[in-house]
Structure 1
Amino acid sequence: MMNAPARLCIFDLDGTLADTAPDLVAALNRVLEEEGLPSADFTTARAFVGHGARVLIERAHRAHGIELDDQKAVDLTERFVSHYADHIAECTVLFPHVLAAMDTMEADGWQFSICTNKRESLARQLLAEMSLTHRFKAICGGDTFAERKPSGQHILKTADAAGAGEARILMIGDSAPDVRAAQDAGVPVVAVSFGYSNEPIATLNPTAIISGFDELPGLAEQLVPAKAA
């Protein structure tokens, strides 16, 4: 078993580490087009992101007054995943200053993991295509464990997969599942103001909010000091 890192920063993926919405919405609209439905408005559809592919599909259809039965939801979700996987990094980019922040934090002894409600296979594919896999001790998706965000177990089990203890964790996210999971796990959470939350991020009461990743290294040092108190 690997040695526990002194401090572990766990990132959400969609809307936090990377701006994945263009590729997600494009795949969603491909499915809607195949179903004879109008394309989803980009801003509206972006707010559906963060709960996994099936919820994205269900919410997009609900916006058209359509409630999907279980089998239809499964079929459309698989079709969406296929379209998305084919174009997963076509328009996706990292948010500004992500890599610089990680470099600074890594020099200060931080290690990193991913905890996302995206399928693990898709998260791994995206990170591989962006040449980022090697930066993370663990990459855990919404289907990696029995629980997923907003359950705190998703974060704690991601930390276990990375060999970390919960007292040394910092969670970074953009929406309710991230903040609530961190609160459930009892770990500090930094929310980004530029993500995909469909509600004002401050109303979720995260530990702190940043408007850019250039703010993260200094804040991380305050929230999880190099030496535990």
Structure 2
Amino acid sequence: MQTVIFDLDGTLADTSGDLLAAANHCFRDMGHGDVLIPGQDAGIALRGGRMMLTRGLERLGALEQATVDRYYPVLLEAYAEAIDTHTFLYPGAMDAVERLKVLGYGVGICTNKPEGLAELLMQRLGARDAFASLIGADTLPVRKPDPEPLREAARQAGGHPDHCLLIGDSDTDRNTSRAAGVPSILVTFGPSGADMAALEPEALLEDYADLPDLVGRVLSAKTENAALGNVN
């Protein structure tokens, strides 16, 4: 079985609002106001909790690694308590997932969000049961861009890791697919969408309605290229 593995934050869902709220909770606890700005700082949010704390403290001129380390668990706790207040699945995402399943693909998730939080969020969004696998940042000893989480997500979704495709929104996702030797499709509707073409993925996705056909073309091209390689 061929599998299509999705990143979560910035790919399946816009989680930036709730992530930024959790970070700003930390900055208020430090005695500052809200440092990160919804919308404007969405790209920072989708780089993870430590990055939000780091960038916020840089703006305050108070960056210390010890502060980042101390507040990271506080951020995770605040995020878990309000994980789906502002978060939404991108339009057409779940329709595309269901269409891929009808076409015979296995589908899964590979994210650098901690597994427990990813499970909680997908359940809250009513979408967890649509995916055969979910691999988080702490599921394995390594995380993306190491290729093993992607490979494990493919295995748990019922496929061979050499025959999967990663849908993502960042250089981390592109580097993960390269390390695994499989193609990637990067979305252009996320906060960093304008930067995706420069990463040279096998394809760009502007609208989830186009994903099933795009997946078919990319995986077919990979199969054809492999066959030509074997002939040569």
TM over 0.5: yes
Q: CA deviation at 1:100?
A: 1.3
Deviations 1:123-180 (A, max 9, x none): 0000011111111111111111122112222212322333421232010001111111
Q: How does 1:54-133 map to 2 (within 5 A)?
A: 54-70=50-66, 72-133=67-128
1:30 aligns with 2:25: yes
CA distance in 1, matches of 2:177, 2:37: 30
Equivalent residue, structure 1, for 2:145:
150
Which blocks of at least 5 consecutive residues in structure 2 are unaligned?
225-232
- How many angstroms apart in 1 are the aligned matches of 2:125 and 2:82? 13
Which structure would you say has the larger RCO, counting Cα contacts within 8 Å and 6 or more residues apart? 1
- 1:3 is matched with none
Q: Is 1:202 aligned to residue 206 of structure 2? A: no
Instruction: Find 1:21's aligned residue among 11, 16, 37.
Output: 16
Residues 1:103 and 1:157: Cα distance change in structure 2 (over 3 Å): closer
Secondary structure (helix, strand or coil) at the match of 1:63 reads helix
Quote the residue 1:219 is aligned against.
214
Count of equivalent residues: 223
Residue 112 of structure 1 aligns to a residue whose secondary structure is strand
Deviation at 1:228, TM superposition (A): 5.1
Please identify runs of 4+ aligned residues in structure 1 that moved more than 4 A: none
Contact 1:49 1:196 in 2 (8 A): no
Decide whether aligned partners of structure 1 residues 195 and 52 sit closer, same or farther in structure 2, where only a CA change above 3 A counts: same
Does the 8 A contact of 1:12 with 1:116 survive in 2?
A: yes
Code of the residue aligned with 1:171 in structure 2: it is: L
Identity %: 32
Name the SS of the counterpart of 2:41 in structure 1.
helix
Q: Deviations over 1:43-75 (max 9, x none)?
A: 4431223443223322322232222234x3232
In the alignment, the residues of structure 2 paired with residue 34 and residue 176 of structure 1 have an alpha-carbon distance, to the nearest angstrom, of 32
**Separation of aligned partners in 2, 1:157 and 1:222:** 24
SS in 2 for 1:190: strand
Secondary structure of the 1:114 match is strand
Q: Deviations over 1:13-57 (max 9, x none)?
A: 011000111111111111111112242122443122344322332
| CA deviation after TM superposition for structure 1 residue 114, in Å | 0.8
Q: Distance in 2 between matches of 1:42 and 1:198?
A: 17
Match for 1:186 among 156, 181, 201?
181
SS at match of 1:139: strand
Q: Which residue of 2 aligns with 1:41?
A: 37
Counterparts of 1:195 and 1:181, CA distance in 2? 18
For residue 87 of structure 1, report the CA deviation from its aligned partner.
0.8
Instruction: Report whether the alignment pairs 1:140 with 2:135.
Output: yes
Cα distance in 1 between the residues matched to 2:179 and 2:171: 12
TM-score, scaled relative to structure 2: 0.88
- C-alpha distance in structure 1 between counterparts of 2:54 and 2:169, whole Å: 21
Query: 5+ residue gaps in structure 1?
Result: 1-5
Opposite residue 120 of structure 1, the aligned amino acid is: E
Q: Given the two structures, how large is their TM-score scaled by the length of structure 1?
A: 0.90
The 2-side partners of 1:66 and 1:138 are apart by 40
More helix by share: 2
Separation in 1, partners of 2:65, 2:210:
44
Distance 2:48 2:65 in 1: 17
Instruction: Answer yes or no: is the 8 Å Cα contact 1:45–1:60 preserved in 2.
Output: no
